[in-house]
Chains A and B, each alone.
Chain A
Amino acid sequence: MRLKVSHRTEYNYDEPIRYGLQRVRLWPVSGPAQTVLTWTLRIEGAREEVRFLDQFGNDTRLLSIDGEPHTISIVAEGEVETNETTGISGPHRGFAPLWLFEHQTPLTAPGAAIRDLAADVGEGGELERLHALMATIQQRVAYVTGTTDSRTTAEEALEKGTGVCQDHAHVFAASARLLGFPARYVSGYLMMNDTIEQVASHAWAEAYVNGLGWVGFDAANGVSPDGRYVRVAVGRDYREAMPISGILIGNAQERLAVHITVEQ
Chain B
Amino acid sequence: MHIPDGFLPATVCAAGYVAAAPVTWYSIHKINQKENPREGVPKASLLTAAFFVVSWIHIPVPPTSVHLVLNGLLGAVLGYFAFPAILIGLFFQAVMFQHGGLTTLGVNSIIMGLPAVVSYYIFRLRNILKKDSQIVTGIFGFLAGFVGLGLSVVMFVVILLNFIPASFDIETERAAIYTLALAHLPLMVIEGAFTSLVTVFLQRVRPKLLDDA
Do A and B pair up? The answer is no
B interface residues, Cβ below 8 angstroms from A? none
